[in-house]
Amino acid sequence: MGKSFKDEFTFEQRLEESQDIIAKYPLRVPVVVERYCKTDLPEMEKKKYLVPRDMSVGQFIHILSSRLRLTPGKALFVFVKDTLPQTGQLTICYHSSSLKFCCMVFSP
């Protein structure tokens, strides 16, 4: 497994990038998605997503499942700060981060 987003970039780099993204795309939520280290799921080709503010966590999980090519019976869970987010909007995790990135970890 490669370096995590947090380990790969300094706080200042992440903050600057998030501010640039939010200024350019104010109606989107920047999301970083990484694989849980103790899972057998493959790494995702893409870690960063710009998600519409009104997209639910359930809809986003469906997109991630499709990108991972999971079989229909296999469940996928995402965690934000070691907790399962509510199935409501992604803006919940957007406002909880000082970096303005919503950082998620996925696991089966």
Reading the chain (108 residues) residue by residue, the pLDDT tens digits are 567 888 888 888 988 998 899 899 988 888 888 888 888 888 888 889 998 888 888 888 889 989 988 888 888 888 888 878 777 656 656 555 555 777 878 887
Per-domain boundaries in the chain: 5-107
68: number of Cβ within 10 Å: 16
pLDDT at 90: 62
The fold adopted by the segment(s) 5-107 is Ubiquitin-like (UB roll) (3.10.20)
pLDDT at 91: 60
Rounded distance between C-alpha atoms, residue 88 and residue 41, angstroms: 25
pLDDT at 37: 81
pLDDT at 99: 59
pLDDT at 24: 95
6, 24 Cβ separation under 8 angstroms: no
Q: Which residues contact 75 (CB under 8 A, 6 or more apart)?
A: 108
pLDDT at 61: 87
